[in-house]
């Protein structure tokens, strides 16, 4: 109990509070702070997302409420909160009302393990990376429960697609996640960041990053993987019966999930808070993490607003016939190469304390292996593209296909 009681807790205990109460209060403040960060962030994120989408589509976006429309989300929230709270008569009341909460909680809970700076994190779990995957599975559950409890055929169809999409893309996601874990020799996100002091993992395994990026885009259910809520096919998808703040929670969960994935990718592959002068002040470290995560987040917005939706069979074929074999091959190739280099003495045994110089030969060799795999893949993709074009050599059929796939 004593070793847990540091910082605010010790201050409270010294000022005469009961030891247990002091610990409870300090933990409560910590929990509120860590869960407060994503709750505040999401309000800004919605504004950013709408602005970016507007600029890509050559519009201005929200610009009426507050300076450059910054308060638009607040106004929307007030609107959503003041709307009538409707539960359909045929719906399963408990599940229907619990689903938005579970959906939002599953994203906020991820923030518990995110290390903001070397000293500021909710909790440093020994199984941090696994925790991230385990918590994400609650999101799947929430969407299925929402789709079923709504008692609406379009909602149910949307929920069916969730199983197909989210569960399938979890496989390459986990395989890609294994690489940073393996390189760092630890599942703790804090250790994974510290292990990148010598070299960021994006340089050691760029292919794993690409796989992780694609699968996490699919996990959030966004274009080109947005068939969970394909407006043109399912009216709205799993959330069709939801209105008011219950709809708002699904909405906020999705927006937050995208940004959370950006932060997770920054931690796993881009060295988290590592950057010039990060040791000077925790604020600089925090700014580095935010900048890296934000940049990745912006690229996902760019992708979302650029590409059309894929058909369900295309998405499944891409995952099971391309992404999953690729992620397994990548894992085997990199782990084999790393072990070989360690046996030869060219790579350090423990990356946690390895410097840039010690890691240089490993980096070069791993980069060559990754480059060779990427070149081969590009060849395979080009061949498949040619085949697809040959199949639809009738130009009118091709145009019809493009029209069907677009939003």
Rounded Cα distance, 348 and 25, in Å: 44
Among 148, 175, 212, 213, binds another protein (CB under 8 A): 148
Near another protein by CB under 8 A, which window of 36-44, 157-165, 286-294, 391-399? Answer: 157-165
Q: Compute the least distance from the CB of residue 345 to another protein, in Å.
A: 22
Residues in CB range of 271: below 8 A, 6 or more apart: 193, 196, 197, 200, 201, 292
Whether 66 contacts 47, CB under 8 Å: no
**Interacting positions 304-363 with another protein (CB under 8 A):** none
Among 52, 141, 316, 354, binds another protein (CB under 8 A): 141
Indicate whether 137 belongs to the interface with another protein (CB under 8 A): yes
Near another protein by CB under 8 A, which window of 153-161, 208-216, 277-285, 383-391? Answer: 153-161
**Interacting positions 86-105 with another protein (CB under 8 A):** 92, 95
Rounded Cα distance, 351 and 207, in Å: 19
Cβ proximity to another protein: between 170 and 226 the closer is 170
Kindly tell me the number of DSSP H helices and DSSP E strands found in the chain: 17, 0
3-state secondary structure (DSSP) of residue 317: helix
Among 37, 54, 125, 236, binds another protein (CB under 8 A): 125
Indicate whether 181 belongs to the interface with another protein (CB under 8 A): no
Indicate whether 134 belongs to the interface with another protein (CB under 8 A): yes
Size of the site for another protein (CB under 8 A): 25
Provide φ and ψ at 86, rounded to 5°: -105, 130
Q: Compute the least distance from the CB of residue 151 to another protein, in Å.
A: 9
Q: Compute the least distance from the CB of residue 225 to another protein, in Å.
A: 18
Tokens of 245: 């703040």
The string of DSSP codes covering 57-91 is: TT---S-SSSGGGTTHHHHHHHHHHHS-----TTS
Q: Compute the least distance from the CB of residue 186 to another protein, in Å.
A: 8
Near another protein by CB under 8 A, which window of 66-74, 136-144, 274-282, 352-360? Answer: 136-144
Among 48, 146, 173, 187, binds another protein (CB under 8 A): 187
Cβ proximity to another protein: between 4 and 375 the closer is 4
Whether 273 contacts 117, CB under 8 Å: yes
**Radius of gyration for the chain, computed over Cα atoms and rounded to the nearest angstrom:** 23
3-state secondary structure (DSSP) of residue 115: strand
Near another protein by CB under 8 A, which window of 57-65, 155-163, 263-271, 310-318? Answer: 155-163
Q: Compute the least distance from the CB of residue 205 to another protein, in Å.
A: 20
Rounded (10°) CA dihedral 367, 130, 299, 76: -170
The rounded Cα 256 to chain-centroid distance in angstroms is 9
Near another protein by CB under 8 A, which window of 126-134, 338-346, 359-367, 398-406? Answer: 126-134
Residues in CB range of 222: below 8 A, 6 or more apart: 254, 258, 300, 304
Among 42, 112, 114, 145, binds another protein (CB under 8 A): 145
Cβ proximity to another protein: between 90 and 283 the closer is 90
Q: Where are the alpha helices (DSSP H) in 91-236?
A: 93-108, 128-149, 153-162, 168-184, 189-194, 201-204, 206-219, 231-234
Rounded Cα distance, 131 and 158, in Å: 26
Cβ proximity to another protein: between 125 and 398 the closer is 125
Cβ proximity to another protein: between 117 and 186 the closer is 186
Among 47, 111, 131, 278, binds another protein (CB under 8 A): 131
- Please give the sequence-ordered ranges of beta strands (E in DSSP) within 212-306, or none if there are none: none
Among 49, 170, 241, 254, binds another protein (CB under 8 A): 170
């Amino acid at each position: 109990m004593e070793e847990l009681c540091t910082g605010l807790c010790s201050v409270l205990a010294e000022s005469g509070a009961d030891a247990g109460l002091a610990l409870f209060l300090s933990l409560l403040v910590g929990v509120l702070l860590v869960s407060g960060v994503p709750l505040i962030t999401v309000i800004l994120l919605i504004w950013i997302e709408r602005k970016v989408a507007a600029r890509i589509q050559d519009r201005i976006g929200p610009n009426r409420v507050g300076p450059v429309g910054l308060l638009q989300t607040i106004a929307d929230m007030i609107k959503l909160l003041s709307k009538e709270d409707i539960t359909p008569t045929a719906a399963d009341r408990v599940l229907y009302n619990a689903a938005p909460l579970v959906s939002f909680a599953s994203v906020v809970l991820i923030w518990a393990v995110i290390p903001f700076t070397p000293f500021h994190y909710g909790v440093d779990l020994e199984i941090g990376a696994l925790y991230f995957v385990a918590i994400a599975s609650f999101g799947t559950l929430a969407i299925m429960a929402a789709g079923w409890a709504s008692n609406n055929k379009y909602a149910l169809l949307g929920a069916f697609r969730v199983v197909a999409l989210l569960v399938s893309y979890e496989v390459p996601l986990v395989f890609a996640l294994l690489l940073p874990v393996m390189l760092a020799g630890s599942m703790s996100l804090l250790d994974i960041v510290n292990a990148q002091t010598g070299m960021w993992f994006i340089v050691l395994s760029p292919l794993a990053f690409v796989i992780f990026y694609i699968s996490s885009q699919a996990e959030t259910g966004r274009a080109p993987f947005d068939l969970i809520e394909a407006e043109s096919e399912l009216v709205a998808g799993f959330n069709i019966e939801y209105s008011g703040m219950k709809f708002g929670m699904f909405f906020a969960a999705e927006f937050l999930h995208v940004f959370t994935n950006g932060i997770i990718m920054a931690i796993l592959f881009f060295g988290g808070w590592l950057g010039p002068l990060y040791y000077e002040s925790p604020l600089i470290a925090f700014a580095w993490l935010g900048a890296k995560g934000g940049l990745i987040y912006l690229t996902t917005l760019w992708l979302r607003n650029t590409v059309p939706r894929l058909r369900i069979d295309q998405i499944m074929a891409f995952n099971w016939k391309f992404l999953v074999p690729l992620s397994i091959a990548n894992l085997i190739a990199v782990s084999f190469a790393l072990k070989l280099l360690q046996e030869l003495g060219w790579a350090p045994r423990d990356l946690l304390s390895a410097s840039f110089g010690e890691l240089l030969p490993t980096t070069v060799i791993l980069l060559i292996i990754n480059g060779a795999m990427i070149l081969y893949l590009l060849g395979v993709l080009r061949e498949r593209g040619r085949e697809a074009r040959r199949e639809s050599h009738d130009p009118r059929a091709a145009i019809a296909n493009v029209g069907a796939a677009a939003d």
